Amino acid sequence: MGTLNILFGSPKDELAGFLRNAGYNILGKKLKEPVVSGIDGKEYHNFIAAPYTVQKGKKKFVVVEMEIGVELDLQEEGLRNKLICLDRVFGLDGVLLADPKNRITREITFKFPKERGLDFYFQFLMALFFILGVIGIIWLLVSIKLF
């Protein structure tokens, strides 16, 4: 009988071995994140679980083990909602779908158009910097009487 290592799974853990062979570092196993749901003022404490969290390069993912067909359909509402839930609750860089039987991994990420990320603010500041630069050049030309 093999020994259990909390970070790497048992020797018989096909998913852990597949993830390591695919170049992912396993960060945690059988993780649970707390969720508090409320109905009419009454709170219910639950957990959302994931088999693994992994890292590859600078990206961290929550893992979902599933058989991945030829074409993964994120238009299917149930699947999409489950993946969004895991993505939001664990707060990593995305969800990694892993299919150890067929040796496939798929990195799933979500963007929400109503949320403004750092890219929006960076672009806004760059535009503001450009406008202030043009105003500064015009002010300089006026002050030395070239305009």
CATH number, domain at 63? 3.40.1350
In this structure, the answer to whether residues 70 and 54 fall within a common structural domain is yes
Number of domains within the chain: 2
Can you give the residue range of the structural domain that contains 124?
A: 113-147
In this structure, the answer to whether residues 87 and 101 fall within a common structural domain is yes
Asked whether 27 and 61 are in contact (CB, 8 A), the reply is: no
In this structure, the answer to whether residues 63 and 121 fall within a common structural domain is no
In this structure, the answer to whether residues 88 and 99 fall within a common structural domain is yes
pLDDT in tens, 91-113: 888 899 888 888 888 888 888 77
pTM of the model: 0.63
In this structure, the answer to whether residues 36 and 63 fall within a common structural domain is yes
In this structure, the answer to whether residues 92 and 139 fall within a common structural domain is no
Question: Is 70 exceeded by the pLDDT of residue 4?
Answer: no
Residue 15 is inside which H or E element, if any?
helix 14-21
Supply the pLDDT for residue 54. Answer: 94
Looking up tokens 């048992």, which residue turns up?
10
In this structure, the answer to whether residues 43 and 62 fall within a common structural domain is yes
Question: Is 60 exceeded by the pLDDT of residue 10?
Answer: no
In this structure, the answer to whether residues 118 and 136 fall within a common structural domain is yes
Question: Is 70 exceeded by the pLDDT of residue 8?
Answer: no
Asked whether 49 and 35 are in contact (CB, 8 A), the reply is: no
Encoded amino acid at 140, one letter: L
In this structure, the answer to whether residues 73 and 122 fall within a common structural domain is no
Checking phi first, is residue 3 left (phi over 0); if not, alpha (psi -120 to 50) or beta? beta
Question: Is 50 exceeded by the pLDDT of residue 11?
Answer: no
DSSP label of 147: -
Mean pLDDT, the chain, integer? 82
Encoded amino acid at 28, one letter: G
In this structure, the answer to whether residues 25 and 36 fall within a common structural domain is yes
Distances (CA, A) of 73 to 69, 80, 83, 113, 141: 9, 8, 12, 20, 59
Supply the pLDDT for residue 7. Answer: 39
Token pair of 36 as six digits: 């508090």
Checking phi first, is residue 89 left (phi over 0); if not, alpha (psi -120 to 50) or beta? alpha
